[in-house]
Structure 1
Amino acid sequence: MSRFIDRVVLHVRAGKGGHGCASVHREKFKPLGGPDGGNGGNGGDVILEVDPNVHTLLDFHFHPHARAGNGKPGEGGNRDGKQGGELLLRVPDGTVVVGANGRLLADLVGAGTRFVAARGGRGGLGNAALVSRARKAPGFALLGEDGEEHDLTLELKSVADIGLVGYPSAGKSSLVSVLSAAKPKIADYPFTTLVPNLGVVSSGDTSFTVADVPGLIPGASEGRGLGLDFLRHLERCAVLAHVVDCATLESGRDPVSDVDALEAELAAYQPELQADSGLGDLAERPRVVILNKTDVPDADELAEMVTPDFEARGWPVFKISAVSREGLRPLTFALATLVREYREAHPKAPPRRPVIRPVVRGESGFSVEADPEVPGGFIVRGERPERWVHQTQFDNDEAVGYLADRLARLGVEEELARLGAEPGAPVTIGDISFDWEPQVSAGVDVVMSGRGTDPRLDQSDRVSAAERKHASRVRRGLVSEDEDQR
């Protein structure tokens, strides 16, 4: 038996970029073959796409982790690594994507609509792509970047033209079953409907969808009953129809008080999506009152008594019986008219030619600020310097020198000097800390003495990459000084 799931938490991780290759072409009778290391492949993206054949988030309920393929490392002979395979996740129409901080990221409506949930990491450049006038044969390559990783909340909000609102056992499911070919569960006890039911209704040349939302009770907007879970399925409805039980035997209830109580809940429910949907708040949507179960004599008399009260509010009123099907024909025509008027007032935008614009990955700026935890220290923040640090092989002197040149060209050295950084001041970029040495001639052309080395770096004054990273973690309080450097 299939289950309806309309809210899940999805953990997505894009693929890592492959490392670049540091290789030199070797062939008989060609002593100066030159660098031929290929670039690493980009990691795969995790993409959400609307599929009209998917109607629930059930698959993500049982498989909440999604991971795209990693890029392959580059190889010698100028062979680039293979791109990581993208992961395409198919979601139902009306899926809303919310970030870990509660911010709305995407509202997926319409077949084929896509959203990149996590972008794959870029592959590292091979040494063939790093050749310059100063570095004729680089003895290093750049490392691949990690892919993005996010925790996303997916919420399904039904896309329907008419939303049926009412107390439990008001006859909403019965009404959907007689208006359309849908076969929802119908029983004589409250909260029979536990999931929204959608039905397609045809009236003349107009076809529209009707959503049967599980019964609401006072306090639904605050989480009582099932209201908080399913009120969101009314957000996209153009018209709200109150289905009123005129034959209820409960004391203290009557059609007018029932509608007033539910109207208060609709007014109290204020999700973020309403402002972006173009439909306005739920309290502002057009209303229709459907007085159900008029096949009962007392119910028919009560419907006659309360009809003037609803008509005074400017709401159309229809007396029907879902059992005897009395009054269904005029109701169907009226609902079709309201839907047609809404569609004429909100025409769909004509399809336009796709416009391709280059997407800038990251900002070029950076900032330098004093480190509050380390006296005399500084922290460099920015997408580019942090990315460059992750791409660097710190056990390779030439790669470290290349990083220093990139930071100098960006202006980091100049900014540190302007802020009064002293030689040996601890500087942190990302998760790496190092002692700033302004006497290193960064940003100038230097004749390299050998592959993998840099004459500006004195081997006697340097420590290994593992020791440098361990010192950085000790300075930040992540490990103790006597812990293993792994």
Structure 2
Amino acid sequence: MSRFVDRVVLHATAGAGGNGCASVHREKFKPLGGPDGGNGGRGGSVVLVVDAGVHTLLDYHHRPHATARSGTQGQGAFKNGANSPDLELRVPDGTVILDDDGEIVADLVGPGTRFVAAQGGRGGLGNAALASAARKAPGFALLGEPGEEVSFTLELRSLADVGLVGFPSAGKSSLVAAMSAARPKIADYPFTTLVPQLGVVSAGDATFTVADVPGLIPGAADGRGLGLEFLRHIERCSVLVHVVDCATFETERDPASDIEALETELAHYADQLGTSALGERLDQRPRMIALNKIDVPDAADLVDMVRADLAERFGWPIFAISTASRSGLRELGFAMAERVAAARAAQPEIEPTRTVIRPRAVDDSGFTIEPDTELDGGFVVRGERPERWIRQTNFENDEAVGYLADRLARLGVEESLAKAGAVPGCPVTIGDMTFDWEPSTPAGVAALLTGRGTDVRLEDTGRVGASDRKYARAARRKHLSDAELAAGARYSSDHELER
């Protein structure tokens, strides 16, 4: 048995970008091959795409987690990593995307409409792309960025021109079945309709859609019955039709009280909804009244008695119909088509999407510096580029850390920190990384030439330097004793400190 699901929570995880490669070309008779590390591939994004063949969110009810593939790493010989394809998720037309606060992020209307739910991470640059006149053979590469991880609530709001509202067993499903090719379940007990039903109706040259919403009862807007879960499906309807059961056996009910009770629920729900995309509140849409079941003699007599009172009280067009004998359905269909055409004509013309370019302001540095509320004397640097650079840096490589310091200095972060009152040694937080700030060389100064993977500005790294490794290798070849090796190592370290 198929299920209708119109509200799910989707957890989307985009793919991470591939790491760049730090490689040096090695070939016989080419001693200075130079860096040849390729860039990492881009991670795949999670994209929602409207598909006219999808009518429910059932797939994401069973599989709420969507994860895109990551990009591959770069390789030597200038081989870039492969970009991962985007993960496209098919959703029904009329899907609304809500954030954690219940705010609408996107309204997907129209087949082919796309929305990037989670952006894939960028691939890291290889050392071939990082080479410069001052840093001819970088001993590091940039890491790939992680993909976004987001959670959205998906709601399906049916796209229908006419919405049928009424009490349970008022004959809404029978009306949809009589006017269209839809075949909803029809039975003689309340709440037979458990899910919204859509039908396509033709009246002359006009074609429009009709939505049958599960029966409403007093208190539906507060959660009673099934109405609250499905009132969203009439938010897009431009015309509402009250289907009134004139043959009910409940003596305390009458057509006027039924309509007033449902109008109260619509007004209450409209207060929660506010102004919709159609430009007017739900309780201000054009109305019609369909007095149903006139094939029953008592119902026909009731229609004659209440027609004048309903017309005076509400002022809406009134039609006496019977879904069993199909009496009055033709007139009702043409009246629906006329009001739908008027509502469509009143809507503004849809313009094609324009590409909007918003250049950055001249005085926009791209980052901000704020005092850290958790660390005394600390500062927090916020900005897209500094935080991205932090994610791309391999902090186990001293040269990569020095390259990060150069980038921050060129961006003006160090100068701004000094103006904000930062002193050497104060904690500075960028993204997820907190470090002790030590002013480096001014921006624009050429990088200091050091061994691959090292940076002289980073002291006390705990690593064995290149000169120490060179001396130890030469000493091993001389077959020195352990005492001579230890003495030579102390001499090398002292010599490096003197230099």
Aligned-residue offset at 1:459: 3.3
Tell me if structure 2 keeps the 8 A contact 1:236–1:279: no
| Equivalence for 2:222 | 222
Whole-angstrom CA distance in 1 between matches of 2:59 and 2:71: 26
Tell whether 2:412 aligns with 1:411: yes
Tell me how far 1:446 sits from its aligned partner: 2.4
Map 1:64-83 to 2 at 5 A. Answer: 64-83=64-83
- Measured in 1, the distance between the counterparts of 2:88 and 2:358 equals 21
Partner of 1:288: 288
Please state how far the C-alpha of 1:348 moved relative to its aligned partner. Answer: 4.8
- 1:15-414 pair list within 5 angstroms: 15-270=15-270, 275-312=275-312, 313-346=314-347, 348-349=349-350, 352=352, 365-414=366-415
How far has the Cα of 1:275 moved from its partner? 3.0
Q: 1:431 maps to what in 2?
A: 432
Distance 1:161 1:59, change over 3 A: same
Amino acid at match of 2:282: L
Q: How many angstroms does 1:364 deviate by?
A: 5.6
- Residue pair 1:12, 1:149 contacting (<8 A) in 2 also: yes
By how many angstroms is 1:432 displaced? 1.1
| CA displacement, residues 214-257 of structure 1 (integer Å, 9 cap, x when unaligned) | 00011111111111100000001010000001111113211001
Q: Which amino acid aligns with 1:405?
A: D
Is the 2:48–2:89 contact (alpha carbons within 8 Å) kept by the matching residues of 1?
yes
Letter of the structure 2 residue corresponding to residue 100 of structure 1: D
Using the TM superposition, give the Cα deviation of residue 380 of structure 1 relative to its aligned residue in structure 2, in angstroms.
Answer: 1.4
Cα distance 1:276–1:317, how it changes in 2: closer, same or farther (>3 A)?
Answer: closer
2:309 and 2:42 map into 1 onto residues whose CA distance is 65
1:458 deviation in Å? Answer: 1.8
In the TM superposition, what is the alpha-carbon distance from 1:344 to its structure 2 partner?
2.4
Structure-2 separation of matches of 1:273 and 1:109: 19
The answer to whether the 8 Å contact 1:364/1:384 transfers is no
**Maintained 8 Å contact 1:39/1:74:** yes
Distance 2:378 2:141 in 1: 30
Q: What residue identity is the alignment partner of 2:215? A: G
CA change 1:279–1:440 in 2 (3 A) is closer
Paired residue secondary structure (2:244): strand
Kindly indicate whether the alpha-carbon contact (under 8 Å) linking 2:405 and 2:440 is maintained by their aligned counterparts in 1: no
Alpha-carbon distance in 2 for matches of 1:389, 1:205: 62
Q: What TM-score results when the alignment is normalised by the length of structure 1?
A: 0.91
- Which whole-Å CA distance do the structure 2 matches of 1:31 and 1:304 have between them? 103
Distance in 1 separating the partners of 2:182 and 2:79: 57
How many Å apart are 1:426 and its aligned residue?
1.2
Contact 1:366–1:380 (8 Å) recurs in 2? yes
Under a length normalisation based on structure 2, what TM-score does the superposition of the two structures give? 0.88
Determine the C-alpha separation between the residues in 2 that align with 1:65 and 1:445: 48
Secondary structure class of the residue paired with 1:289: strand
Over 3 Å counting, the alpha-carbon distance change for 1:439 and 1:236 in structure 2 is closer
**Residue 309 of structure 1, CA deviation:** 2.6
Conserved? CA contact 1:364–1:383, under 8 Å: no
- Cα 1:346/1:355, change in 2 over 3 Å: closer
Q: In 2, distance between residues paired with 1:308 and 1:410?
A: 77
Q: Deviations over 1:373-393 (max 9, x none)?
A: 221222212221111111101
CA deviation after TM superposition for structure 1 residue 345, in Å: 2.4
Q: Which runs of 5+ in 2 are unaligned?
A: 465-499
Q: Which moved more, 1:327-336 or 1:339-348?
A: 339-348
In structure 1, list runs of 5 or more residues that go unmatched: 464-486
- CA change 1:150–1:220 in 2 (3 A) is same
One-letter amino acid of the counterpart of residue 375, structure 2: V
For residues 31 and 273 of structure 1, the distance between their equivalents in structure 2, rounded to whole angstroms, comes to 72
Q: How much does 1:101 deviate? A: 2.5
Q: Which amino acid aligns with 1:399?
A: A
Q: Provide the aligned length of Structure 1 versus Structure 2.
A: 460
1:340 and 1:283, CA in 2 relative to 1: closer, same or farther beyond 3 A?
same
8 Å contact from structure 1 (residues 406, 443) kept in 2: no
Q: How far off its partner does 1:276 sit?
A: 4.6
1:92-142 per-residue CA deviation (whole Å, 9 max, x = no partner) reads 111001112322111011111111111100011111111122211111110
Cα distance per residue 1:287-342 (max 9 Å; x no partner): 00000011112211211222123322320000011111111111111111112222
What one-letter code is carried by the residue in structure 2 that aligns with 1:210?
A: V
Find the counterpart in structure 2 of residue 420 from structure 1: 421
CA contact (8 A) 2:54 2:92 kept: yes
**Cα distance in 2 for residues equivalent to 1:275 and 1:13:** 33
Tell me how far apart the structure 1 counterparts of residues 370 and 462 of structure 2 sit (CA, whole Å). Answer: 27
Q: Residue 15 of structure 1: SS of its match in structure 2? A: coil
Alpha-carbon contact 1:18-1:41 (below 8 Å) kept: yes
Q: What CA distance in whole angstroms lies between the structure 1 residues aligned with 2:463 and 2:275?
A: 58
Alignment of 1:449-464 (within 5 A): 449-459=450-460
Sort the Cα spacing of 1:147 and 1:87 in 2 relative to 1 into closer, same or farther, 3 A: same
Per-residue displacement from partner, 1:270-296 (whole Å, max 9, x unpaired)?
Answer: 378763512411111000000001111
For 1:63 and 1:384, the matched residues in 2 are separated by: 35
Superposed CA offset, 1:343-402 (max 9, x none): 22236536x4x75566989x9621212222221222212221111111101111110011
Residues 180-203 of structure 1: per-residue CA shift (max 9 Å, x gap): 111101111110000000011111
Q: Using the TM superposition, give the Cα deviation of residue 444 of structure 1 relative to its aligned residue in structure 2, in angstroms.
A: 2.1
